[in-house]
A and B are shown apart, each in its own frame.
Chain A
Amino acid sequence: MPDTNFEQPQTPAATPLAMTLHVNGRDHLMALDPRTTLLDALREHLGLTGTKVGCNHGTCGACTVHIDGRRHLACLVLAAAAQRRNIGTIEGLAGPDGALHPMQAAFVAHDALQCGYCTPGQIMSAVACVAEGHTGSDAEIREYMSGNLCRCGAYPNIVAAVREVAANAQQRS
């Protein structure tokens, strides 16, 4: 059992910790408060605001990023703990020429969003969902996409986008 009875940190300022984050193929040398989450490091310090904050408690999925290809909630990862790992965000998904990743293109084609706020997290989750092979049926897609809330209720179109990308990936392989 993790100890949940810890004291809230009261120190307003902590000695910055030098760290290197490898994000979207590039190293970033940073000096951050050791309490900084990966989410804050990305948004507030690297300007990568595509990763969204919905709850900061790991309950909505809006901040989903890839760490070594697996999906993680950036709000639950300390930046310092993500050193020496390959961190992927929505900004790194498109090709260097700006060509959309197939999942991004599928989200556009299927109108798999309304307000768009949960979309970066949905897309990062969806890319991993396909890579994990959890796309055998619509029910399986729904199950493995259930960590990402979409209050606009675009789920039918999100599932359609994931299904299409998975089918195309299968054809190519």
Chain B
Amino acid sequence: MAAVAATSSAIADAALELIEVKYEILPFVIDVEDAMLPGAPILHDDLFTAGVEPKATTASNIAKRVAFKLGDVDAGFAEADVVVEGYYTTQAVHQAYIEPHACVVTVGSDGQSLIYSSSQGHFMVRAYCAKLLGMELSDIRAMPSEIGGGFGGKTVVYLEPIAMALSKQTGRPVKMVMTREDVFRSTGPTSGGTIAVKLGAKKDGTITAATAVLKFQAGAFPGSPVQPGCMTCFAMYDLKNVTITGYDVVSNRPKVAAYRAPGAPISTFATESAMDELALKLGMDPIALREKNAAKDGTKTAYGVTFQNIGYTQTLEAAKNHPHYTAPLGPNQGRGVASGFWFNIGGESTGAVHVNEDGSVSIVTGSPDIGGSRASMAMMAAEVLGIPVEKVRPVIGDTATIGFTHLTGGSRVTFATGMAVTQAAERVRDDLKKRAAMIWEIPVEAVDWKDGEAVPAGANAGGFDPMPLAAIALKAAKTGGPIIAEVSVNAQGAGPGFATHICDVEVDPETGHTTVLRYTAIQDVGRAIHPSYVEGQIQGGAAQGIGWALNEEYIYDKQGKLDNAGFLDYRVPVASDMPMIEAVMIEVPNPRHPFGAKGVGEVPIVPPMAAVANAIRGAIGIRMPHLPMSPPKLRAAMDAKAG
């Protein structure tokens, strides 16, 4: 490996020209099915398929096999009156955050290092850099920066360790910034994949058996999200007989990174398209078919979890009753419905609440804010303390100033970091009561906290005027010193997310271009802490899903080189591609969170591809099993149908 540091990018470019690299062109394989064939070029001669019996003895591009099973699918298919089968493919797509990766680092002569970088987790940045450079975690201080979009793609490091090595060598601060082309070529998109689905059902719509086989591109190294792809794809349904098998496959592509609900949109595109085919074959309304088989509280999933406090059927009910579902359609127009699931996670988070001397409040967390989480943190603390949210200033602490916090991902921050902040605010509130009791010289049990003030708990407590938070803060030095609390949690019990989307499209019979006319996204959000931000997450996920459905893909030329590493040829949705996306929030509170919050950011990207495909099926009578459903593909499919 070589890296160049210079005082200007022009000098760096000139220096790069002077480095001579000799490449030996090896056989390559791009497609996931090709990579699995016997005789395919093997990427790593030390890679053996994990998860197979007997143990693999020859090198393979299949890094891992995973399987999930409930009941007996053969018996289930034997019971079925109707069977549908389909083979679906999706293409690699990029998170395409508008801010390219960037960092500024400095490694001091004593080894003490400072990293400023844009990431979804500065503790993650610190951990990777320490590991790669053989340093102690405490020698690295990683500072969070404002982040211009991540969507999962900024959960790994690319630049920071290289910049640190350069800084160490030069003794100077080093800045590294990716170009847009670098971002497309050398950072992780998500997997493309193939999914074979088979569903069997009785005439009344009861699904008797379901199988899915998923093959996901991992890129050049193992690690595709095929496992969550397997776990999510049938999680909306109460299935007695199901098998899901997944393969993690390496090929000559960029190593994948997480992208919003990793794995689920890929597999769910297939299973929810198949559900639509099943509804058609049964002559059933697609929502009625889903209601018939919907997962409810107590449903056991193929991956082992039994659901509690879920709101899936409520999303179906809301979809059925939404005026969108029965609005008239015009010529060349169609309507599609699809559902989706995402686990949502908890994990390690730290939150600190500081009452300042003037009565203002500072909150520090370790969670980079990629979707407005700071506002939610402030709102939760303000609620506990009974003060206006404007009095609360939330900031993100660096790795040296706040306790360990797992990265921002898995829709975990409002849940887990929110739990830490809420608990810290509760401790501060208890402390404030204690201080008031001390000032009033009464027992703490005789003090209540109401609307941001300490008040006597009853007539017996004494006739004291309410003491506002600011008054207590002013006397902190006389009552025991600074009023602060820091709480670290390993949050468990994240409530899973379910969504049902309705999509109307119109397909231009001349060009094959699909216009999304109307889009309604219904989601169980637990409890919306900041409702307009939650709506924003739902709209954003749907928008990215629509792009994935209609336009986005990594295109490779015959030499195995990426052919569209820029926004001109990799087309993300623009304003004129998007209809108004109506977000409908269903609130089934999560009892494991103090305010009932569930993660909301990821599940909205799960249903759109199938919702769009099902709408196109309605519009032109053709099932489009291969993403993206771009105009040339639609036009070809329509021409083939016309004969």
The answer on A and B forming one complex is: yes
For A14, the closest partner residue in chain B by CB is B10
For A54, the closest partner residue in chain B by CB is B98
Stretch at the interface among A86-94, A138-146, A164-172: A138-146
B10 touches A33 (CB 8 A): yes
B14 at the interface (CB under 8 A from A): yes
From residue 553 to 584 of chain B, which have CB atoms closer than 8 A to chain A?
Answer: 566-568, 572-578, 580-581
Stretch at the interface among A77-85, A97-105, A110-118: A110-118
Residues from chain B with a CB closer than 8 A to the CB of A158 are: 575
Q: Which are the 9 A-B pairs with shortest beta-carbon distances?
A: A117-B148, A153-B543, A153-B540, A59-B567, A55-B180, A12-B11, A146-B574, A12-B14, A142-B575
A153 touches B10 (CB 8 A): no
A150 at the interface (CB under 8 A from B): yes
Could you list 6 A-B pairs, sorted by A, with CB under 8 Å?
Answer: A10-B17, A13-B10, A59-B568, A116-B148, A146-B577, A159-B575
For B583, the closest partner residue in chain A by CB is A156
Also in contact, A156 and B539, with CB within 8 A (given A33-B10, A115-B148, A116-B148): yes
0/1 interface trace, chain A 9-37, chain B, CB 8 Å (1 if under):
11111100000000000000000010100
A143 touches B576 (CB 8 A): yes
B8 touches A12 (CB 8 A): yes
B573 touches A142 (CB 8 A): no
B146 at the interface (CB under 8 A from A): yes
B179 at the interface (CB under 8 A from A): yes
| Chain B interface (Cβ < 8 Å from any Cβ of A) | 6, 8, 10-11, 13-15, 17, 95-100, 146-151, 177, 179-180, 370-372, 532-533, 536-537, 539-544, 566-568, 572-578, 580-581
A153 touches B542 (CB 8 A): yes
Q: Which of A60, A115, A142 contacts B578 (CB 8 A)?
A: A142
B98 touches A155 (CB 8 A): no
A151 touches B11 (CB 8 A): no
Cα separation A10 to B370 with both chains bound (whole Å): 39
Q: Of residues A52, A53, A155, which shows the largest number of chain B Cβ atoms within 10 Å of its Cβ?
A: A155
From residue 49 to 73 of chain A, which have CB atoms closer than 8 A to chain B?
Answer: 52-57, 59-60, 62
Residues from chain A with a CB closer than 8 A to the CB of B568 are: 57, 59
Residues from chain B with a CB closer than 8 A to the CB of A9 are: 10
Cα separation A73 to B147 with both chains bound (whole Å): 22
Residues from chain B with a CB closer than 8 A to the CB of A153 are: 539-544, 573, 578, 581
Residues from chain B with a CB closer than 8 A to the CB of A54 are: 98-100, 180, 567
A149 at the interface (CB under 8 A from B): yes
B98 touches A151 (CB 8 A): yes
Also in contact, A154 and B539, with CB within 8 A (given A9-B10, A115-B99): yes
Also in contact, A59 and B566, with CB within 8 A (given A117-B148, A146-B574, A146-B576): yes
Cα separation A54 to B8 with both chains bound (whole Å): 19
B536 touches A151 (CB 8 A): no
A13 touches B11 (CB 8 A): yes
For B6, the closest partner residue in chain A by CB is A12
Q: Using a Cβ–Cβ cut-off of 8 Å, how many residues does chain A contribute to the interface with B?
A: 44
B572 touches A146 (CB 8 A): no
For B95, the closest partner residue in chain A by CB is A151
Residues from chain A with a CB closer than 8 A to the CB of B179 are: 56
B572 touches A149 (CB 8 A): yes
Nearest-CB distance from A45 to chain B (Å)?
12
Q: Which of A14, A35, A150 contacts B98 (CB 8 A)?
A: A150
Residues from chain A with a CB closer than 8 A to the CB of B15 are: 12
Q: A10-B17, A54-B98, A139-B576 are in contact. List 9 more A-B contacts (CB 8 A).
A: A114-B371, A114-B536, A115-B149, A146-B575, A149-B567, A152-B540, A153-B578, A156-B539, A156-B581
B14 touches A52 (CB 8 A): no
Cα separation A146 to B572 with both chains bound (whole Å): 11
Residues from chain A with a CB closer than 8 A to the CB of B572 are: 149, 151
A148 at the interface (CB under 8 A from B): yes
Cα separation A120 to B112 with both chains bound (whole Å): 35
B544 touches A53 (CB 8 A): no
Cα separation A60 to B570 with both chains bound (whole Å): 11
Residues from chain B with a CB closer than 8 A to the CB of A52 are: 98-99, 148
A115 touches B147 (CB 8 A): yes
Also in contact, A145 and B575, with CB within 8 A (given A111-B533, A153-B541, A155-B543): yes
Cα separation A87 to B148 with both chains bound (whole Å): 25
Nearest-CB distance from B447 to chain A (Å)?
38
Residues from chain A with a CB closer than 8 A to the CB of B536 are: 111, 114, 152, 154, 157
Nearest-CB distance from B144 to chain A (Å)?
13
Residues from chain A with a CB closer than 8 A to the CB of B532 are: 111
Also in contact, A62 and B543, with CB within 8 A (given A111-B533, A151-B149, A154-B536): no
Nearest-CB distance from B109 to chain A (Å)?
27
Also in contact, A13 and B17, with CB within 8 A (given A56-B180, A118-B98, A143-B576): no
A55 touches B566 (CB 8 A): yes
Q: Which of A55, A114, A118 contacts B372 (CB 8 A)?
A: A114
Cα separation A25 to B476 with both chains bound (whole Å): 48
Nearest-CB distance from B281 to chain A (Å)?
34
Residues from chain B with a CB closer than 8 A to the CB of A14 are: 10
Q: Which of B10, B95, B98, B146 contacts A149 (CB 8 A)?
A: B98
For A139, the closest partner residue in chain B by CB is B576
Residues from chain B with a CB closer than 8 A to the CB of A154 are: 536, 539-540
Residues from chain B with a CB closer than 8 A to the CB of A11 are: 10, 14
Nearest-CB distance from A101 to chain B (Å)?
20
Q: Which of B10, B96, B147 contacts A151 (CB 8 A)?
A: B96
Nearest-CB distance from A112 to chain B (Å)?
9
Residues from chain A with a CB closer than 8 A to the CB of B577 are: 146
Nearest-CB distance from B118 to chain A (Å)?
9
A12 touches B10 (CB 8 A): yes
B180 touches A155 (CB 8 A): no
For B570, the closest partner residue in chain A by CB is A59
Residues from chain A with a CB closer than 8 A to the CB of B17 are: 10
Residues from chain B with a CB closer than 8 A to the CB of A117 are: 97-99, 148-149
Cα separation A8 to B14 with both chains bound (whole Å): 10
Residues from chain B with a CB closer than 8 A to the CB of A62 are: 98
Also in contact, A155 and B578, with CB within 8 A (given A13-B8, A13-B11): yes
For B582, the closest partner residue in chain A by CB is A156
Q: Of residues A59, A118, A156, A159, which shows the largest number of chain B Cβ atoms within 10 Å of its Cβ?
A: A156
Nearest-CB distance from A137 to chain B (Å)?
12
Residues from chain B with a CB closer than 8 A to the CB of A143 are: 575-576
Nearest-CB distance from B376 to chain A (Å)?
13
Nearest-CB distance from B329 to chain A (Å)?
19
Cα separation A55 to B441 with both chains bound (whole Å): 64
Nearest-CB distance from B99 to chain A (Å)?
5
Cα separation A8 to B9 with both chains bound (whole Å): 13
Q: Which of B148, B566, B578 contacts A156 (CB 8 A)?
A: B578
Residues from chain B with a CB closer than 8 A to the CB of A150 are: 98, 575
